[in-house]
Amino acid sequence: MIQRPRGTADILPAEAAKYRYIEQKAREIAALYGFSEIRFPTFESTELFFRGVGDGTDIVQKEMYTFADKEGRSLTLRPEGTASLARAVVENGLYGGNMPLKYYYVINCFRYEVPQSGRSREFTQFGMELYGAPLPAADVSVISAAYRIAEALRIKATVNLNSIGCRNCRPVYLAKLREYYEARRDRLCDTCRERLGVNAMRLLDCKEPECRALAAEAPKISDCLCDECKAHFSATVRGLERAGIRYRIDPNTVRGLDYYTKTVFELIADDGSGAAAVLGGGGRYDGMIGELGGPELGGIGFAVGLSRLALAMPDGEAKEEKPALYVAPMGERAAEEAAVICEKLRSLGIACETDLVGRSLKAQMKYADKSGFGYTAVIGDSELDSGKCVLRSMADGCETETAISDIPDTLVKLLAAE
Ligand code: AMP
């Protein structure tokens, strides 16, 4: 038997209902903050991710699904959305008009990672990005939107917040950090020793116990921020405070990607553990649009993972809507009429089904019960002759007589009274 590739998932209807619910809530939040949906390709030129994600990152170094197409072009399945969105902004010249730009996206992403709870090789991100808004208020609104998505799903979460400085102050900090770690090189894990020359800040979020101990004592970026970054950070913190967002300042939140400047944050589920607890993350990236050939236009955004939100959501939060009516025919003439009745009901927006299998009446009732229909209507010759039938509630067995032609009105009244 052919099996699905490692790290991918079949999302069966009950789980899909959860994902649909999460997506719907996230879309509602995005609309409340004035963001519009944008869609872009699943694969891009590999070069985009080298430039837009950064060749020092794990994603680019180890995790990309890269392939040559039939013409030998190097293409990559997107590992995230920010680089593609920035490309779309530049390529479509979206920055000429009404600023700031506010977009959201729902995309599948691909990363060659070691699968574990909350970490797969194909996953779905919901992201929001804001361009051309330099004020700390922009950081506050984007972080708030991420937090409100968790809140709308009744997930208790906290924002881990940090500033990693800008082109002016970060080099000073990086030099201090490198010096600190170089002096302790023999205590680092192999990965950190490798990373030290590439991106020293990544050492701060290593999970190895010895590296964690070193990170706790490492120089703090907050002592090196320039005045502008300091002012930006404290205004962001003040904004979050006033918005009632639960946050904690965490000097070791640095994020894995190269493109961030100033604000970085992660949304952490209070009850979660390990990778699955990190519901989402984001930050400000001031240089990316310029890097891709556009103007110097700052951006700030985040992405949350749908599977992690689904794991963190309380059970029963996403209720699937039950179909309203099962029409059970008795006999061939009734079966034909039942099909016509169902088509009519569906045209009026009522979800209904009839027998497609040739089951006995008893078996049909069993099916209707298992499938969670709200009501059933048995239609036989006598119902067709009289033009009347009975709607039976599957919840309490209550019966309501109605003209067949009045089924929609009667059902709507019954459902409204529930
Ligand atoms: P990142 O782009 O790495 O900052 O990821 C942002 C969010 O996407 C994470 O917080 C997760 O919710 C989700 N995510 C990232 N990688 C994976 C993965 N391999 N499997 C599932 N979700 C992921």
Tens-place pLDDT, residues 224-235: 999 999 999 999
Q: What's the Cα-to-Cα distance from 81 to each of 127, 280, 356, rounded to whole Å?
A: 7, 13, 43
44 touches 78 (CB < 8 A): yes
Write out residues with Cβ below 6 Å of ligand 1. 80, 111, 113, 118-120, 123, 125, 278-281, 303-305, 307-308
305 Cα to the center of ligand 1, angstroms:
5
Average pLDDT value for residue range 42-67: 91
- Given the CA of residue 82, which atom of ligand 1 is nearest to it? 2
**Res. 54 pLDDT band, cuts 50 70 90:** confident
Range with lowest mean pLDDT among 9-18, 81-90, 247-256, 305-314: 247-256
- Average pLDDT, rounded, for the chain: 94
- What is the Cα–Cα distance from 86 to 293, expressed in whole angstroms? 10
The 10s digit of each residue's pLDDT in 315-351 is 888 877 789 999 999 999 999 999 999 999 999 999 9
Q: Which of 123, 284, 311 to mutate to test the pocket of ligand 1 (most atoms within 8 A of CB)?
A: 123
- Given the CA of residue 308, which atom of ligand 1 is nearest to it? 12
Query: So what's the pLDDT on residue 55?
Result: 80
Average pLDDT value for residue range 40-60: 91
Cβ within 8 Å of residue 63, ≥6 positions away: 79, 111, 112, 113
3-state percent breakdown (helix, strand, coil) of the chain, nearest 5: 45, 20, 35
CA-CA-CA-CA torsion sign (162, 168, 171, 177): negative
Q: Is the pLDDT of residue 202 over 90?
A: no
63 touches 111 (CB < 8 A): yes
Q: Is the pLDDT of residue 109 over 80?
A: yes
Closest CA relative to residue 324, chosen from 371, 287, 373: 373
- Given the CA of residue 115, which atom of ligand 1 is nearest to it? 19
Residue nearest (by alpha carbon) to ligand 1 atom 20: 119
Crossing angle of helices 13-32 and 136-152, in 10° steps, is 150
120 Cα to the center of ligand 1, angstroms:
9
Residue nearest (by alpha carbon) to ligand 1 atom 10: 280
- Given the CA of residue 302, which atom of ligand 1 is nearest to it? 6
The Cβ of residue 373 has, within 10 Å, a number of other Cβ atoms equal to 24
pTM of the full structure: 0.92
125 Cα to the center of ligand 1, angstroms:
7
Query: So what's the pLDDT on residue 328?
Result: 98
Do the bridges between strand 101-110 and strand 157-163 make them parallel or antiparallel, or are there none, so unpaired?
A: unpaired
Crossing angle of helices 136-152 and 227-243, in 10° steps, is 40
Cβ within 8 Å of residue 50, ≥6 positions away: 60
Query: So what's the pLDDT on residue 16?
Result: 94
Q: Is the pLDDT of residue 263 over 80?
A: yes
- Given the CA of residue 59, which atom of ligand 1 is nearest to it? 3
Q: Is the pLDDT of residue 416 over 70?
A: yes
Range with lowest mean pLDDT among 24-28, 177-181, 198-202, 219-223: 198-202
Query: So what's the pLDDT on residue 258?
Result: 64
How many alpha carbons fall within 13 Å on the CB side of residue 186?
Answer: 0
Range with lowest mean pLDDT among 75-79, 202-206, 230-234: 202-206
**Res. 105 pLDDT band, cuts 50 70 90:** very high
